[in-house]
Structure 1
Amino acid sequence: MTTPLISLTWTDHVTDRQGHLVIDRLVRGVASGGLRMREGCTLEEVAGLARGMTMKEALHYNAEDPSVRYIPLGGAKGGIDCDPQDPRAYGILVRFLRAVRPYVETMWTTGEDLGLSQDIVDRAAAEAGLASPVQAVYPLLDDEAAARRRLADAFAVEVDGIGLDELVGGCGVAESVLVALDRAEMAYEGTRVSVQGLGTMGGATARFLARAGLKIVAVADVKGTVANPAGLDVDALLAARDSYGTVDRAALRHDDVELAGDAWLSVDAEVLVPAAVSYAVDTVNQAQITARWIVEAANMPVLPEAEKLLARRGTTVLPDVVVNSGTNAWWWWTLFGDIGADADEAFTYTRRSMRALIGQMLARAEADGTTPRAAAHAIVADRLPAITERFGWYR
């Protein structure tokens, strides 16, 4: 990867908290990437996430099918160093968006990420004087008014009381797990899964995997790990969580047990799904893992050195740049008009796209004798020159 096109750090004059924006690459003058808020967020972290967004966009580039309307964008990311539950957090968010308003207006399309929900981002963006956090993409649309209505309608769709926008990413993560099981000729029924984080991504992933017949044996939140080797009642846990993904322990059944916060790593399970924070699996705690697969629903949850150690012990990591790319792609599939504001259409399109992409990555890894992450990087390396040749570096 090259040096980012734009990298900046902002300091809030009220609280001295810092925010970061990295635009890694522009395609057609626009870059895509969410805005996160967490205590300890750094410029280095945001830069890594922005590079990941460049890869996610390139992985969904399809030059062969002329019917596809969504042409992937460049990659970017924003991050604010603040606990989202801090009473000052919303004011910091608004001031950050005011400070970077010229970038949002012209080149950076953003949305929810770790610590921030879409409704909060939308409200803060309006208060900062922005028409929309994705307004930079509007000039690329054939019919802006129709596209905006379609996206708004899609955000209004609910399935079992959960917003479609909260479900599509988990649908993509779940499909990634199912492709890995299919290639290994393992049955869905009885395959055990442990999930770290029951927020938007983790909750939706657990929901889809449970409906596919897999057994969710552990979930972790800020209070600790809830486990049951016989399988947890996922729907009950989802119904009992707050807006931060924390489960009300009053909803637990008599045979559910509460364990330490890091116990999700070591429970007996074939699949681990880190779906919360970055850097969750390091060189020390990786030794607790016995799972066959780690499927990265969160961004950068497994440190590179930890991944090498895991690979030596036979644990395969399915990388975030592919696995969790469905949320970002769904926005653009909907806005550009490849799909409508319909849940069944969204899930079908997401499953088909992710199944093809995961299958291509795993086939490349097998052919090259390398890891899925290295295979994903190789696919991106093949596609970026084609994107550059077609669109240039900045336009």
Structure 2
Amino acid sequence: MTPHSPAPLISLTWTDHITGRKGYLVVDRLVRGVSSGGLRMREGCTLDEVAGLARGMTMKEALHFDADDARARYIPLGGAKGGIDCDPREPEANGVLVRYLRAVRPYVESVWTTGEDLGLTQDLVDRAAAEAGLVSSVQAVFPLLDDEAAARRRLADAFAVTVDGIGMDELVGGCGVAESALAALDRAGMAHRDARVSVQGLGTMGGATARFLSRAGLRVVAIADVKGTIANPAGLDVEALLAARDAYGTVDRSALREGDHELSADAWLTTDAEVLVPAAVSYAVDGVNQAWIQARWVVEAANMPVLPEAEALLAARGITVLPDVVVNSGTNAWWWWTLFGDIGADAEEAFGHTRRAMRALIDLMLARAEADGCTPREAAHAIVADRLPVMAERFGWYAR
């Protein structure tokens, strides 16, 4: 069962004439003539990776479509993704980003709404988009808005909201990931205080997820960054580690407390914990290192962190993978809930809406998996397969 077109609608490769760096854009599907998906920048990014992420965005959008909710202003879009093969920390990175956006400007203006993703903050994307001559990185959706000026003010106000020093654009994704994990624990009857968590990555998604899970009463016992794994069986001080991280999510080791230990980079996989959260890079769990995992749940905060072979082996061992297409979809949905006016620029309203939406999706997916005797990912695909034809019939691919 394939919940998307067998080949993407648009697939292109760009070569920077100055550095030779490659960039990619894949539009998997359009709804009402528009698609949605972030722009990532990382060394080694490939066209196949971007195509897989674009297909995932088609699924994420469809999963947030409720055909029976007449009150919803946000109508999900199609799926797309952009990627640039460059280390964002390189001195040349910003120039590459600007030239890439200039090259794909016609797509951003007409069919592709984009924003921050791995390696890029929204501020970087916004500044590069302005330098490339774009009005906004999401301007393709403006014709679908009832009041463009009000919508843009609402989104700008939402991005200006901070909670304990962290912006809403960072926090809402972690809120969704955390609620996904909590929903799974609740369905299994496990008390939050009895659950230990290991997180790979303390960047945008991993940091926010660790904060929300810790505040929900779970014990975060391991966090990995590029320097290695920080662990403490008694529980880490998540707030102190967040305060001590740099822009890339790397923790200043001088902030470690007595009882905190520095372990190897892959020790987060072997940590004794009930919940494992890969929140850093794609392809982190493969057919070999999956054997080290003893957690009960793997909650995919990153995009495509568990390879298909590894997921099958984990399932055979009774370990449940909560898939990225559901778990980390909250950030994208928050953008559109805010822009279309389903929620305002208010933190508690955003968190409440995100929690309700994510818990409903997780419950629906897990109930479908139990009924069909399949994995949660297969259940998510089945839900998407049900919804895409309804979206196509009701809204069309190309109609404005």
1:277 correspondence with 2:281: yes
1:134 correspondence with 2:128: no
Match of 2:217 among 213, 225, 231: 213
* Shift of residue 65, structure 1, vs aligned partner: 1.1
Per-residue CA deviations over 1:311-341 (Å, capped at 9, x if unaligned) read: 1111100000000000000000000000000
1:6 correspondence with 2:21: no
1:186 correspondence with 2:190: yes
C-alpha distance in structure 2 between counterparts of 1:142 and 1:394, whole Å: 19
* Shift of residue 394, structure 1, vs aligned partner: 2.5
In structure 2, the partner of 1:168 is: 172
Amino acid at match of 1:290: Q
Match of 1:244 among 248, 272, 276: 248
In structure 2, the partner of 1:336 is: 340
In structure 2, the partner of 1:177 is: 181
- Answer whether contact 1:53 1:321 (CA < 8 A) is retained: yes
1:104-143 pair list within 5 angstroms: 104-143=108-147
C-alpha distance in structure 1 between counterparts of 2:383 and 2:144, whole Å: 26
- Answer whether contact 1:175 1:351 (CA < 8 A) is retained: yes
Per-residue CA deviations over 1:60-95 (Å, capped at 9, x if unaligned) read: 011111110000000000000001101100000000
SS in 1 for 2:193: coil
Give the TM-score of the pair, scaled to structure 2.
0.98
C-alpha distance in structure 1 between counterparts of 2:395 and 2:215, whole Å: 42
1:65 correspondence with 2:45: no
SS in 1 for 2:192: coil
C-alpha distance in structure 2 between counterparts of 1:393 and 1:84, whole Å: 34
Amino acid at match of 2:98: V
> How many pairs are equivalent?
395
Q: Which runs of 4+ in 1 moved over 4 A?
A: none
1:155 correspondence with 2:159: yes
In structure 1, the partner of 2:300 is: 296
Match of 2:105 among 101, 104, 108: 101
Per-residue CA deviations over 1:288-312 (Å, capped at 9, x if unaligned) read: 1000000000000000000000111
In structure 1, the partner of 2:45 is: 41
SS in 2 for 1:194: strand
C-alpha distance in structure 2 between counterparts of 1:86 and 1:284, whole Å: 32
Amino acid at match of 1:190: D
* Shift of residue 139, structure 1, vs aligned partner: 0.5
Amino acid at match of 1:334: T
RMSD (Å) for aligned C-alpha atoms: 0.5
* Shift of residue 393, structure 1, vs aligned partner: 2.7
1:232 correspondence with 2:236: yes
C-alpha distance in structure 1 between counterparts of 2:141 and 2:252, whole Å: 40
In structure 1, the partner of 2:360 is: 356
Per-residue CA deviations over 1:26-67 (Å, capped at 9, x if unaligned) read: 001000000000000000000000000000000001111111
Per-residue CA deviations over 1:351-378 (Å, capped at 9, x if unaligned) read: 0000001100000000001000000000
Percent identity for Structure 1 against Structure 2: 82
C-alpha distance in structure 2 between counterparts of 1:165 and 1:80, whole Å: 22
C-alpha distance in structure 2 between counterparts of 1:210 and 1:47, whole Å: 34
Amino acid at match of 2:96: I
* Shift of residue 190, structure 1, vs aligned partner: 2.8
Match of 2:82 among 78, 81, 91: 78
Amino acid at match of 2:20: D
C-alpha distance in structure 1 between counterparts of 2:64 and 2:317, whole Å: 31
C-alpha distance in structure 1 between counterparts of 2:194 and 2:124, whole Å: 38
Unpaired stretches in structure 1, ≥5 consecutive residues: none
In structure 2, the partner of 1:267 is: 271
Unpaired stretches in structure 2, ≥5 consecutive residues: none
Moved more, 321-330 or 384-393: 384-393
- Answer whether contact 1:25 1:394 (CA < 8 A) is retained: no
Amino acid at match of 1:87: P
Amino acid at match of 2:218: L
C-alpha distance in structure 2 between counterparts of 1:366 and 1:245, whole Å: 37
Per-residue CA deviations over 1:240-285 (Å, capped at 9, x if unaligned) read: 0001000000100021000000000000000000000000000011
Amino acid at match of 1:98: R
